[in-house]
Structure 1
Amino acid sequence: MSDDYKSGIRNIAEEPWRQFPNHFGSALSKALVHPETTGSRQIDYRISTYQPMAYVERHAHKVQEQVYHVLDGEGLMEIGDEKRVVRRNDVVFITPGTFHSIENTGLGDLTFIVVTTPVKDE
């Protein structure tokens, strides 16, 4: 966890793009509010851009809840045994223990916000 646990303002350009573990094919994210960047303890807030065919592998969280908010593009969201197309303005809520994945199946970039709380599965 960062030693800089304090309120503040950050610009999206300040955070580099990175590919987190189990994300593949130019599935890039900026960890805007994250233990490593702000010292946050309860919130992981990222903006992600996946190029066509990029994806995060199917997974579930023990205690974490997640919200995906699609800003642009389209892709395929898997929630449990169901797969649905997601596109701009769709908001997806994932409960703990639910297997899920997202993949860019569209023609252009898929950009979305992901909010996870708490930061870690314990």
Structure 2
Amino acid sequence: MLIYDTATSPYKRVMDNSLLCELLHPEKIQTDIKIRYSLAHAFVLKGESTLPHLLQNSVEIYYIIQGRGLMHIDEQAEIVGAGQAVVIPAGSVQYISNTGEDDLEFLAIVDPMWNATDEICIR
């Protein structure tokens, strides 16, 4: 049985400015499980935003656990909140601003799995 726990996994600031814990990544786990996606647990702290960025070849899904944010994908922007999933197509410029009174917390699922060479920060 494989169990991964955010309580024992490190969080760090990543390129897009979120506070992120890479919970499950096929290239970093000690098993031959056959999955294509990676899974991260992330926070955008109160009053903060991620930086505009894109994944060239991977689709990303944000599942909002708590908080509220303004999600930007290319030219579109929508308020999102707990219980919602946002699909971010490959090649789309995206960022999210925390518009709530608390930290914005979400899961980020990337398929195929995230890798640094696929991500571009737009400045």
- TM-score with structure 2 length normalisation? 0.80
Distance in 2 (CA, whole Å) between partners of 1:118 and 1:36 is: 12
Distance in 2 (CA, whole Å) between partners of 1:29 and 1:55 is: 13
Does residue 34 (structure 1) correspond to residue 25 (structure 2)? The answer is: yes
Which sections of structure 1, spanning at least 5 residues, go unmatched?
1-6
Distance in 1 (CA, whole Å) between partners of 2:28 and 2:48 is: 24
Q: Deviations over 1:16-57 (max 9, x none)?
A: 11111131xxx3111101257426873220111221122221
- TM-score with structure 1 length normalisation? 0.81
- Residue 63 of structure 1 and its aligned partner are, at CA, apart by 0.8
- Residue 77 of structure 1 and its aligned partner are, at CA, apart by 0.3
The structure 1 residue matched to 2:9, chosen from 12, 15, 18, is 15
- Residue 71 of structure 1 and its aligned partner are, at CA, apart by 0.7
Does residue 102 (structure 1) correspond to residue 96 (structure 2)? The answer is: yes
Q: Secondary structure at the match of 2:12?
A: coil
- Residue 60 of structure 1 and its aligned partner are, at CA, apart by 1.7
- Across the aligned residues of Structure 1 and Structure 2, the Cα RMSD in angstroms comes to 2.2
Which sections of structure 2, spanning at least 5 residues, go unmatched?
none
In structure 2, the CA distance between the partners of 1:56 and 1:35, relative to structure 1 (3 Å rule), is: farther
How many aligned positions are there?
113
Distance in 1 (CA, whole Å) between partners of 2:98 and 2:112 is: 26
- Tell me if the contact between 2:69 and 2:104 (Cα under 8 Å) persists in the aligned partners: yes
- Tell me if the contact between 1:31 and 1:37 (Cα under 8 Å) persists in the aligned partners: no
